[in-house]
Amino acid sequence: MFKVILGLLLFADFARSSDTTAIQKEVPAYSVLSQTSNLTIHPDYTYTFDIERKLVVNSSAGLEHATTRLFYDKLNEVRAFELEVKDVFTGKTLSKAKLKDMADGAYYSSSSVFDDNRYKYYEVTAGKFPVEVTIKSSVFSKTNFFLPAWTPVPQYNQKVKESLFAVNYPSELGLKYKEINLTGDKTTTEANGVTTITWTMTDLAVQGKDFESDDDHKLLLAPVKFSLDQYQGEMTDWSQLAAWQYELNKGRDVLPEDFKAKVLQMVDGVEEPYEKVKILYSYLQKNFRYVSIQLGIGGWQTMTAEDVVKYAYGDCKALTNLMKAMLEAVGIPANYTLVYAGQNADDIEVDLPANQFNHVILQVPTDADPIWLECTSNLLPAGFLGDFTRDRHVLVTKEGGGYLTKTPSYDTEVWNLIQSQSKVILDPQGNATISSKQQLFGNFSEVMLSVKNSLDERQQRDFLNRNSSISGLIVRDYTIDIVNQDSLPKSEISYEGVVQKFSQATAKRVVLKSFMGKLTPDLLANKSLKQVDEYEIELPEAWQPDGNFPEVKLNEEKLTGLLTVALEGRVLKVRREISVQLPEKLEKEQETELLKKINTAFDRTILFTKPTLSTTQIPSYE
Amino acid sequence: MNKLFLLFLATLLPVVLVAQTPKMGEINQNEIDLKSVSYEPGAGAVFLVAYGESRFFSEILETNYFNRVKILTEAGKENGDFRIPYYAGSTNVEMVSAVKAEITNFVDGKPVVTKLGKENIFQVDLGNGNKEYRISFPNVQVGSILEFSYKKADKNLNFLDGWSFQRDLPVLYSSYQIIMIPQLEYKMIGQGENFFNRAEKSGSNGTYKWILRDLYALKGEPYMRNYRDYVDRVEFQLSRYQHAATTSGAEWTDFLNTWEKLGDELIEYYSGKGFYRTNPLEREVLSLDLSKGTQKEKAEVAYYYVRDNFVNEGADWIYTDQTLPQLLKSKKGAPGELILAYMGILKSQGIECNPVLIGSKGYGRSEIVPFPFLNQFDEILLLANLDGNLQFLDLSDPLAPFGYVDLDKHVKAGLFLEKNGSKLIPIDIRHNSNKLTFTNIKLDNETGELVMDNTIRNYYYEGLAAAHDVERLEEDKKPLEEYFSEDYGAFEIRNVKVDNLLEDKNMVNISFQSVLKNATESDMIVFNPLQMSEFAKNPFTQEFRVFPVDFEYSFNETYTANLQVPEGYEIDDYPTNESITIEGSPISFIYSTENLGSIFKITAKLDVKSPLIQRDMYSDLKFFMESVASKLAAPVILKKIAKP
């Protein structure tokens, strides 16, 4: 009966709020949650995680809040699940479910060829609202290497009345945690060698889809002492975690003798360490391919180098481990390095030494800056990291220890340079032939690596057509050459083509609208840009300049720009030069304003008079 | 009937017929020498051979698959993993076995063959009866030839998968052979321009074979949402089977031999699920007053009741997961279930109303198959007689007003279901999904801003699409200004307002201002008066097309801009008039200007009369659209009048 009354009260509360005009602007709550989570770490490094959720689902939109999805694999087991749906008003049970009723699925990754990641799931249905859903689940893990995090507000549009998270662990094993925006109560007790910490948060604000994830409440946990499949270690600091990772892969970097001999032969007579790295990395890229097979001690231990040599494929761990072994065979030490990869991934929490990683790269120390190798890429030059791993903290692992460091950010002009030189011959109708050369450096060349290698000719032509600042370009002949300068990616693009309507005819004039393209956020993604475009445009005889040619000069701190236009005989010479360096922190609105400002400044039209009224011919069948 | 059929088949002996089939390891010199695909240069890898051969064994159809792939470029090495999906269900409806694979590399010109073992071939249970083999080839290099073969046993003999000739890579040789047995008679269903125009076909003694060569890789193209409807395919539907052989000859049982029979089976299926019962629905809609008004008005009230009181969730499908009572209890259902429930409500009001099965766009067919064959249908519509007028009705879209039918259901024909009277009927849903843009342009002397007050009227399905875009923004709590993609240019979008009048007037009005700041600073204002067309940039930049261009429906976009010539300024220059089209006039464009003294008027109209433009017209269309884009981006020039 109590439950029914509670449900009624909760519903009444919700109904009242949605009727109040003033509160209607608030984010609506599709469900109301009370949750208790109990994480118990056992002395043998295993843990049990029990969750009891009680939800009052107010509308069909809240049903997905009651969906349960429980991950399992060789290390994790779903032990219990119970669910009951009740009518809030009558207290009558509408449906029940147990573990056997859960559906089962594999995480279907398009990139992974094989893994053992699966999940059990259950979706609640209801025909009328509100309903009260009680869900109890228990999972067991054979390792405390990965510990669950607590997010007190798990869903958008969910009102959390109360969320309690308790962790019980043998004091002797230790536990570390990081509280992010936690505002509730915390209590700590210890009895019989077991420490219990309990966090409670109540009456939390409903979050809408626009909620800033940085403002979310979160508790991150990490063990001090841990074990993963008999490999014990400590995570008191980053160095210990690194040492443990090193031990996990120890002995798996032995190269077959004939392969080792081949490796030595490849660098025979080469003195310069970078050259050796380049030769071996290039060999790896040409002869081994990335295949995601996420098996082996929770996906954390590498395949042996011998197996990788045998199959000529491997995942990030396997290819990195092999490259490390190859370099060490020629006397170049290298470090297996853990990273949290992702194009727009947040950096790790540097003050919580823990397993926060999902990828592996290789660091080759030198007297100056280290050489970084992304061993899963068969395109990047040796020493250059793509946007998947650049500019973030990584854990370098070495025997007996390791350290946290940062990968390069490539945010200076040398890594963000675009140059182009184009010659255009215009006919009296405004159509043109064009020959153009472009040089892309650093980050801008990264895109061209995949254009050059992954697209067929039709797609490459289309890429050039679509990405040209000149509308109506039809590329006929082209070349794309990758001419990296050591670790600096460089591409040279050269094309010849025609441009339909390079200029536009108006009643009195010929108009050359700005044809060098606008700056977009993509071009400033790496905080720095230098772009120099030069055009020589051969004009038809009869065209005469109408008024002065535009001229633009921008000279501000961290922003310079220049546009010059000059007529030499029949050749119009146009040069645009832009150099931008963005501050470390720049809000999106500020960036948009800056882009608009630059684009507005350079959006200049060049006018010519015509000897007669429009002579433009367009084929017409009407 | 199925039981009889299976028992009978179990007594059959396999038909043995010697046929030439490609074999693993038998790589010819041309294949070894091949460096690139002549018609698709730059392709990373190519199917040298994609071959399938089906024959009947007892109560199953066994198909042997063989594939030979060559890696042509470094990037092509990523094609070294293959997946073989199949549906086993709970009774092994499909079984894959004998998965074999080998890779041939050429070392110093000599072939080195590596056979794949279990460590390179994985079996994965994807859940819900779906399974998959995954093959990861070792030592994949440029020049490697990858071969794999497997057998698939299929217990479903009613409908045979047949063969799709294209792959995601180009295919040099794609062939399928089926050895029929006299006791089973199938209807063949062919599809695709290549299949009909250039397939090499042979058939004798029950063995049928099709070969297609030099096929493009399947890749998406702009303005072709449903390219899978154009894939070259051959499939088979069982039409009759021999159930006994007597001295007087074979006795045959028709399997799906009439539309009436097919329709009756579906009606029986829906009846079994309760969807032809009206009592529960009468109770369901007790709160609605359906006693007054015309049939159309009643149908409209009932439509909004179902649309707004049931959650529309799940795949649109002709079969239903739930019974009617379950649907009424859960208040959540797939579109097909909601449509059938809606039918029940209309029937309970005495409105004549029946389901129509259709093969939706993207389901794999561009034309209806003109014989009774159920697998070509995947979604349902309703055809109702409202006050003597026939109207198609749908419930796929929670935002759609009464009378709107999901665009994927705008197909040429469907199967009208009526007891003892089911038949194919044409579907012709007409609508004027046009777009009208009005712009008033004036200079605000106080602020120095050039202000363009715009109103876009999006009609019918254009309006519905706009309503969805707006809903997404609202759900994501984003400002309405983001309805227009930021172009980081001189104009600023302000004061966006959306007026959804779809239910009353079949339109969604979007009004906004685009403003050029500091416009008065220079002597000339050069600007584009027609800023909001998606055709201001030519969408057709590809060299050639593999599939036709599909604008989905006929429509027009009309732009009218009235420029109030500001005091102290004159119209100095403006774009010239233009009227263009392409051969046959499937699409046309006109642009004109008119000087009315204080008002300068610019109008433009793009008219798509025939929405499907075949690929042989592509280069003309591309040229045409570039001309349109250029004109829609052309400037008007206002000039300060020089003071004497």
The total of other beta-carbon atoms located within 10 Å of residue A154's CB is 14
Closest Cα in chain B to A504: B634
CA distances from B217 to A468, B134, B222, B534 (A): 25, 21, 16, 28
Q: ipTM, 2 decimals?
A: 0.87
- pLDDT-derived band at B332, boundaries 50, 70, 90: confident
Q: Which residues of A touch B573 (CB under 8 A)?
A: 506-509, 511
Q: For B32-48, how does the pLDDT look when each residue is reduced to its tens digit (9 = 90+)?
A: 999 999 999 999 999 99
**Residue A407 CB partners (closer than 8 Å, separation 6+):** A339, A361, A372, A385, A389, A390, A391, A392, A394
Distance from CA of A257 to the nearest CA of B (A): 18
> What digits encode the pLDDT tens for the residues B401-413?
999 999 999 999 9
Give the separation between CA B335 and CA B359, rounded to whole angstroms.
15
As a whole number of angstroms, the longest Cα–Cα distance in chain B is: 113
The strand pairing partners of B436, in sequence order, are B457, B558
Cβ-defined contact of A622 to B581 (cutoff 8 Å): yes
Residue B470 in tokens: 């707006």
Contacts of B448 (CB under 8 A, 6+ apart): B517, B518, B519, B520, B521
| Burial class, B343, CB count within 10 angstroms (exposed 0-12 / middle 13-18 / buried 19+) | buried
Q: Does A552 touch chain B (CB under 8 A)?
A: no
Spatial contact of A447 and A453, defined as CB atoms under 8 Å apart: no
Within 157-216 of A, beta carbons closer than 8 Å to B belong to 208-210
- Provide the terminal-to-terminal Cα distance of chain B, rounded to the nearest Å: 99
Exposed, middle or buried: residue B476 (CB in 10 Å: 0-12, 13-18, 19+)?
A: exposed
Q: What pLDDT digit, counting tens, does each position of A411-467 carry? A: 999 999 999 999 999 999 899 999 999 999 999 999 999 999 889 999 999 999 999
In chain B, which residue's Cα lies nearest the Cα of A62?
B311
Q: DSSP secondary-structure letter at A248?
A: H
Structural contact between residues A153 and A162, judged by C-beta atoms closer than 8 angstroms: no
Residue A109 is predicted with a pLDDT of 58
Q: What is the DSSP letter of A488?
A: B
Which residues of A fall within a CB distance of 8 Å from B488?
518-521, 592, 595-596, 599
Can you tell me the distance from the alpha carbon of A347 to that of A325, in angstroms, rounded to the nearest whole number? Answer: 29
Tokens of A110: 């398009």
- Is the predicted pLDDT of residue B414 greater than 80, yes or no? yes
Chain A contact probe: residue of B126, B488, B572 with most A CBs at under 10 A: B488
CA nearest to B537 within chain A: A471
Q: How near does any CA of chain B get to the CA of A265, in Å?
A: 19
Residue B244 makes CB contacts below 8 A (sequence gap 6+) with: B250, B251
Of all residues in chain A, the one with the smallest CA distance to B545 is A458
A157-172: pLDDT as tens digits: 999 999 999 999 999 9
Nearest CA in chain B to A376: B78
**Binning pLDDT at 50, 70 and 90, where does residue B248 land?**
confident
Cα of A196 to nearest chain B Cα, Å: 39
Mutual angle of helices A257-266 and A316-329, in 10-degree steps: 70
List CB contacts (< 8 A) between A209 and chain B. Answer: 475-477
- Going through B460-568 in order, the beta strands assigned E by DSSP cover 491-501, 507-516, 524-527, 549-550, 555-564
Give residue-wise pLDDT tens across range B594-610: 999 899 999 999 999 99
pLDDT band at B18 (very low <50, low <70, confident <90, very high): very low
Confidence at B644, pLDDT banded by 50, 70, 90: low
What is the arithmetic mean of pLDDT over B520-527? 89
For residue A613, is pLDDT > 60? Answer: no
Q: Pairing mode, if any, of strands A606-609 and A509-512?
A: antiparallel
pLDDT digits (tens, 9 = 90+) for B107-120: 998 999 999 999 89
Cα distance between residue B53 and residue A313, in whole Å: 32
| Contact assignment for B634 to A506 by CB distance below 8 Å | yes
- How high is the pLDDT of residue A11? 34
DSSP H/E element including A109: none
Dihedral (CA of B327, B331, B333, B338) sign: positive
Find the mean pLDDT for residues B266-271. Answer: 95
- Which amino acid type is present at position A489? P
Predicted confidence at residue A292, as pLDDT, reads 82
CB A356 within 8 A of CB A394: no
Q: Which of A127, A286, A618 sits opposite B627 (nearest CB)?
A: A618
Tell me which residue in B42, B44, B328 faces A460 most closely, judged by beta carbons. B42
Does the beta-carbon distance from A509 to B573 stay under 8 Å?
yes
Strand pairing report for A93-98 and A76-87: antiparallel
Under 8 Å between Cβ of B528 and B452? no
Best probe of the B interface among A117, A431, A456, A476, by most B CBs < 10 A, is: A456
Element at B378 (helix H, strand E)? none
Q: How far apart are CA A413 and CA A441, in angstroms?
A: 9
Kindly state the average pLDDT of the residues A238-246: 96
Give the residue among B428, B484, B438, B432 at the shortest CA–CA distance from B461: B432
- Provide the shortest C-alpha distance from residue A549 to chain B (in Å): 13
Q: Which residue segments constitute the domains of chain B, with CATH numbers given?
A: 2-245 (2.60.40.3140), 259-426 (3.10.620.30), 435-640 (2.60.120.1130)
- Band the pLDDT of A18: cuts 50, 70, 90: very low
Which of 422-451 (A) contact B at CB < 8 A?
450
Q: Report angle CA B69, B70, B72 to the nearest 5 degrees.
A: 145
Q: b or e along B27-50 (b: 16 or more beta carbons within 10 Å of the residue's beta carbon)?
A: beeebeebeebeebebbbbbbbbb
**In whole angstroms, what is the distance from residue B185 CA to residue B237 CA?**
9
- The DSSP call for residue A551 is -
Decide which of A447 and A105 is more confident: A447
Looking at beta carbons, which residues of chain B come within 8 Å of A377? Answer: none
Whether residues A599 and B489 touch (CB distance < 8 A) is answered with yes
Q: What is the SS3 assignment for B79-117?
A: HHEEEEEEECCCCCCEEEEEEEEEEEEEECCEEEEEECC
Nearest to B635 among A312, A459, A605 (CB): A605
Question: What sign has the CA pseudo-torsion A238, A244, A248, A252?
Answer: positive
Q: Which range (A47-51, A181-185, A291-295, A543-547) has the least confidence? A: A291-295
d(CA B9, CA B155): 11
Q: Which of B134, B138, B583 sits opposite A313 (nearest CB)?
A: B138
Distance (Å, whole) CA A610 – CA B5: 83
Q: How many CA atoms lie within 13 A of A424 on its CB side?
A: 29
Phi/psi at A411 (5° precision): -110, 25
Question: Hey, are the CB atoms on A620 and B580 less than 8 Å from each other?
Answer: yes
Kindly determine whether residue B126 and residue A513, on different chains, have CB atoms separated by under 8 Å: no
pLDDT digits (tens, 9 = 90+) for B3-15: 333 323 332 333 3
The residue assigned the tokens 């018609």 is B39
Containing H/E element for A587?
none
Contacts of B576 in chain A (CB under 8 A): 505-507, 614, 616
Q: What angle do CA B463, B492, B433 make, to 5 degrees?
A: 15
How far A480 CA sits from the closest chain B CA (Å)?
Answer: 12
Q: Are B508 and B433 in contact (CB under 8 A)?
A: no
More confident residue, B536 or B454: B454
Q: Which residues contact A6 (CB under 8 A, 6 or more apart)?
A: none
| Minimal Cβ distance to A505: which of B331, B576, B583 | B576
Q: Do B487 and A518 lie within an 8 Å CB cutoff?
A: yes
* B111 CB neighbour count, 10 Å cutoff: 12
Element (H, E) at B77: none
Shortest CA gap A129–chain B (Å): 10
H/E run at residue B206: none
Nearest chain A residue to B83, by CA:
A113
List of residues 6+ apart from A533 with CB closer than 8 A: A418, A419, A420, A422, A516, A574, A575, A576, A577
| C-alpha to C-alpha distance for A492 and A479, rounded to whole angstroms | 8
Q: Residue A311: enclosing H or E segment and its boundaries?
A: helix A305-311
Name which of A397-401, B101-105, B119-123, B248-252 the model is least confident about.
B248-252
Measured between CB atoms, which of A311, A507, A603 is closest to B139? A311
Average pLDDT for chain B: 91
Mutant choice from A24, A25, A113 vs B, greatest count of B C-beta within 10 A: A113
Number of A/B CB contacts below 8 angstroms equals 192
Burial A353-386 (b: 16+ CB within 10 A, else e): bbbbbebbbbbbeeeeebbbbbbbbbbbbbbbbb
Q: Which residues contact B7 (CB under 8 A, 6 or more apart)?
A: none
Helix, strand or coil for residue B120?
Answer: helix
Let me know if A36 is exposed, middle or buried by CB neighbors in 10 A (0-12, 13-18, 19+): middle
Q: Do A518 and B488 touch (CB under 8 A)?
A: yes
A104 vs B: CB within 8 A: yes
- Report the C-alpha gap between A109 and B96 in whole angstroms: 21
* pTM as predicted: 0.88
- Torsions phi, psi of B338, nearest 5? -65, -40
Inform me whether the pLDDT recorded for A217 exceeds 50. yes
B627–chain A nearest CA distance, Å: 7
- For tokens 């081994």, the residue is A288
Q: Residue A74 has what pLDDT?
A: 87
